[in-house]
Amino acid sequence: MRRVGNDVVDLEDPAIAQTHLRERFVARVCCESERARVAGSSDPKLLLWSLFAAKEAAFKALSKSGPLVFAHRRFVVAEDLRSVSYLKQVLWLRVDVHGSCVHAVAWTDDEPPIFGVEKLEPGVDASAAARALLIQRLGGGGLTIAREPQPGSWNGYGPPKLFRDGVEVNLDISLSHDGRFVGFAADSSGAEKR
Ligand SMILES: CC(C)(COP(=O)(O)OP(=O)(O)OC[C@H]1O[C@@H](n2cnc3c(N)ncnc32)[C@H](O)[C@@H]1OP(=O)(O)O)[C@@H](O)C(=O)NCCC(=O)NCCS
């Protein structure tokens, strides 16, 4: 099954205003070559969070194939931001900047997934908004999204899954929310693919 992952980062979140200047954080997230790229970048903040989002997107995609401890440095992002590697696995990648939001999407097969980002109105529940956005893009029609209990996973729950009228649809999806933004990615190959 094709795996997809996505991650949004709100670049105007005050909590990350100076993070790109913190060497220990950069060293925890980036491998040596990525650190050099960040240091030499004309926009180190944008590049750092693009790399971070890419790694999170790839982790979300790959963690669905089996237990995976997340070590950001082990996910290596290509200089052109078109692919991300983890050990011998290479995922396709796209990174888009929408105003003050970075959105990364990673996927395992040739066909690009569908994806989207939306800015939230203040006070809206981000988790629910991400689900609503994805379901709307998939056409609604009895679709729901749930995370099932998964003993042994880092927070006791598995990744989000898509259901139609209560029956799981074999179409991989991914959700993300950060600050004022929500995002999603979904396999574009059509539902019920086995
Ligand atoms: C999974 C993870 C990458 C999510 O990133 P985040 O920045 O916290 O949050 P995001 O908004 O980008 O994504 C959250 C969404 O990811 C999805 N998600 C959660 N776990 C996931 C997983 N293992 N795989 C794919 N998607 C997952 C959920 O849909 C979640 O949204 P929801 O809570 O509204 O359902 C992050 O929590 C993480 O690093 N987990 C791994 C921790 C780990 O391995 N720890 C090991 C030591 S204990």
Residue nearest (by alpha carbon) to ligand 1 atom 27: 159
CA of 81 to the centre of ligand 1 (A): 22
Ligand 1 atom with the shortest distance to the CA of 157: 20
pLDDT string in tens for the chain (194-residue length): 889 999 999 999 999 999 999 999 999 999 999 999 999 999 999 999 999 999 999 999 999 988 888 999 999 999 999 999 999 999 999 999 999 999 999 999 888 999 999 999 999 999 999 999 999 999 988 999 999 998 888 888 999 999 999 999 989 999 999 999 999 999 987 644 43
Our measurement of the distance from residue 139's CA atom to the centroid of its chain's CA atoms, rounded to an integer in Å, reads: 22
* Domains, the chain, with CATH or none: 4-186 (3.90.470.20)
CB 194 within 8 A of CB 172: no
Residue nearest (by alpha carbon) to ligand 1 atom 33: 127
**The predicted structure's pLDDT at residue 66:** 83
What region does 140 belong to: left with phi over 0, alpha with psi -120 to 50, or beta? left
Helix (H, G, I), strand (E, B) or coil at 146: strand
**The predicted structure's pLDDT at residue 194:** 36
CA of 129 to the centre of ligand 1 (A): 16
Tokens matching residue 110: 């040739």
Helix (H, G, I), strand (E, B) or coil at 44: helix
For a ligand 1 pocket test, name from 59, 65, 68, 163 the mutation site with the most ligand atoms within 8 angstroms of its C-beta.
Answer: 59
| Residue 193: φ, ψ to 5° | -75, 135
CA distance 60 to 138: 20
**The predicted structure's pLDDT at residue 192:** 43
